[in-house]
Amino acid sequence: MQVATGKKVWHFPFSKRGINSSVLVNGSDVYASHSEENVDASTAMGRLVHLNAGQVTEGKPAEVWNVDGFAAGYASPAYHDGILYHVDNSANLTAFDAASGEELWKHNIGIAQRASPIIGDGKIYVADVDGKFHILKMNGREEPEVLHVEEFKEPDGSLTQINGSPAIANGRIYLMTTRELYAIGAKQPAGSAAKAVKAVSNKAPAGAAAAHVQVVPAEAVLSPGNSKKFVARAYDAKGRLIGEPSAEWSFEGLKAAVSGSGDLKVAGDNVSQGGLLTATVGGVKGAARVSVRPRIPFTEDFESYEEKTVPPGWNAARGRFQVAAIDGNQVLKKPSANRRSWRTTVFFGDPSASGYVIEADLYGVQRGRWKPDMGLVSHRYTLALMGPRKRLMIRTWLSELERFSKQVPFEMEADVWYRMKMKVDVSEDGGKATVRGKVWKKGDPEPEAWTIEAEDALPHTSGSPGIYGYSAADIFYDNIKVTPAGS
C-alpha cells in the first residue's frame, strides 16, 4: 500500500490462514512464507514465494517462483549476496538462490523452530526451540561450517526454550531465552555509526493533479460544543504529497458548523452524534469520521431511535446491535445471529472520563442450552454477568485474567430484567483502584451492599463508559445512566 495514503497498490492471495512470518523486501523483490493451507489446488502445507512488486497487473504482482510445501510459518527469511536463508518449522535451515529459487543446501539445526536467522560478520546466527544457539560460517553457495553450538539449560538441566530471534547491535549479539537475556561480545561495545541512507523524496512534481485527498485527523472524538481543526492533504496517483490546498468542506450526520478553513464546531446538545466531515479538492473527496460523545451526566433509553438503527457515534455498534421494540418500549438488542460478532464491547463516552457511576437494565434470553454474558464497562474494567458459568466477574482483559480479575457465584435467570451498577474509585495518589459492582432484579429494591468488589494495584484511572455482551443468546439493554460519583 502507499505509505502516505494507505491506498492499496496490490495484493496477493497466499494462505487460507494468517501469515505469521515477516515479509522480506529487497528492492522490488518480495519474499514471503507460511505453513498453512494454500489457496490453490495444492495439497501441500506451506509455501515460500518470490514476487516482483515492480510488475503489477490488475492489482496483482508477478510471481517469480515458489517452493510448494516449504512450511516456514514462524521464522522470517534473511537475505545476503543473492542468497535467501530460511528455516522451516522442523528447524531445517535452507539456502535458496534468490533469483531462481534453486535450493543450494539444507542444514538441520534441531527439531522445531520459531526464531529467525540473522547474518553478520560473515556468519549465520540462529537458535532452535530446544535451547541451542548455532553460529555458522558462511561459505558462499556451499553449506556453511559449524563454528559453535551453545546449549542453554534450566537449573534442573533441561534445555531452555528459545523462541525469539537474536539481534545485532554495536558489535554484540543479543539473545533472549525463556529465562534470561544475553549480550554476547566485547564488554565495551565496538560499534560504528551506520552510513546514512538518503531519504527518497515523497514530494509530488509541480503541477501534479490530486488523486487522493486525506483529511487529518482521520477520526475525532469530541464532546458537545467542542471545536476541532481539520486539514486536507492532497496526493498524486503515486501517493506523493502535493500539499495542503484549500478545500470545500461539508459534513453529514452531524449537527455542526464548519468554516472554509476546516474548523468544525459541533452543537452543544448533550446527545450522541456520528458522521463524516468531507473535504473536496478538484473534484476529489476525502473524509474523516467524527464521533460526538455526551458529557456526564447523561441517560439513554433508546426511545428516540427508529428500530434496526443504532445510536450514532457508538463505536462497534453498527452491525452488532440494533434498536428493537419490546412490550412497547424501545431497547438496544444484541442478536445472536452473527457468531463472528458474539463478543463485543461498545464505548459511548469520553475516553478520558473518570469518577463516574454507570448503571443499566440488562436482559438475557436462553437459546437451547445457551445463555449470554452481559455487562457494563467503566475505566477500562468490565463487570460481566456470565450466564453459562453462573458467575459475576470483574476484569480488565479477558485473555489475561491472572493480571487482574475477581469472580463470585451468581446464577443469572433467563428472560429476567436485571439492573447492573458499576463504580470505580481511584485513590488520590493514583496507586490503587477499587472496582465495585451490583446486580439485582429490576423492580426490587437496590441492595445496600455491593455484590462484588476488587482492588487493582496497577489501576486504570480513566476510560469511557460502555456496555459488553457475548451474545450466544440474545441480549437487551435499556435505561443506561451515567452520573458523577457521589452525586
pLDDT for 22 equals 97
Q: How far is CA 267 from each of CA 109, 257, 264, 271, rounded to the nearest angstrom?
A: 66, 8, 10, 9
Number of neighbours of residue 32 by Cβ within 10 angstroms: 22
Q: Verify that 285 and 378 share a domain, yes or no.
A: no
pLDDT for 203 equals 92
Domain boundary pick from 167, 184, 201: 184
- Is residue 226 very low, low, confident or very high in pLDDT (cuts 50, 70, 90)? very high
In a domain? residue 6:
no
Strands of the sheet with 256-258, listed across from one edge: 227-229, 263-266, 256-258
Give CA–CA dist 407/61, Å, rounded.
52
- Number of structural domains found in the chain: 3
- 116-174 per-position pLDDT tens digit: 999 999 999 999 999 999 999 999 999 999 999 999 999 998 989 999 999 999 889 99
pLDDT for 59 equals 95
CATH of the domain at 102: 2.130.10.10
Dihedral angle of Cα 375, 378, 383, 384, to the nearest 10 degrees: 40
Coil, helix or strand for 400?
helix
pLDDT for 395 equals 98
- 70-80 per-position pLDDT tens digit: 999 999 999 99
pLDDT for 188 equals 83
Q: Verify that 328 and 349 share a domain, yes or no.
A: yes
Q: Verify that 160 and 227 share a domain, yes or no.
A: no
Q: Verify that 310 and 345 share a domain, yes or no.
A: yes
Q: Verify that 358 and 469 share a domain, yes or no.
A: yes
Query: What global pTM score does this model have?
Result: 0.81
- 323-343 per-position pLDDT tens digit: 999 988 999 999 998 888 899
CATH of the domain at 232: 2.60.40.10
- Is residue 487 very low, low, confident or very high in pLDDT (cuts 50, 70, 90)? confident
Q: Verify that 263 and 120 share a domain, yes or no.
A: no
- Is residue 308 very low, low, confident or very high in pLDDT (cuts 50, 70, 90)? very high
**Backbone CA torsion sign across 393, 394, 397, 402:** negative
pLDDT for 194 equals 74
Mean per-residue pLDDT, 468-473: 96
Between residues 339 and 5, the one the model is more confident about: 5
Give CA–CA dist 467/464, Å, rounded.
10
Whose CA is closest to 26, among 151, 119, 88? 119
Number of neighbours of residue 31 by Cβ within 10 angstroms: 24
Q: Verify that 275 and 352 share a domain, yes or no.
A: no
Which domain, by its residues, includes 440?
Answer: 298-484
Q: Verify that 238 and 310 share a domain, yes or no.
A: no
The residues near 128 (Cβ < 8 Å, ≥ 6 apart) are: 91, 109, 110, 111, 112, 113, 115, 134, 162
Q: Verify that 29 and 137 share a domain, yes or no.
A: yes
Whose CA is closest to 439, among 347, 374, 365, 372? 374
Chain centroid to Cα 212, Å, comes to: 26
Which three three-digit cell numbers place residue 22?
Answer: 515477516
What does residue 158 show for φ and ψ, rounded to 5 degrees? Answer: -75, 160
The Cα angle at residue 191 between residues 188 and 192, in degrees rounded to 5: 140
Q: How far is CA 214 from each of CA 5, 245, 266, rounded to the nearest angstrom?
A: 7, 11, 21
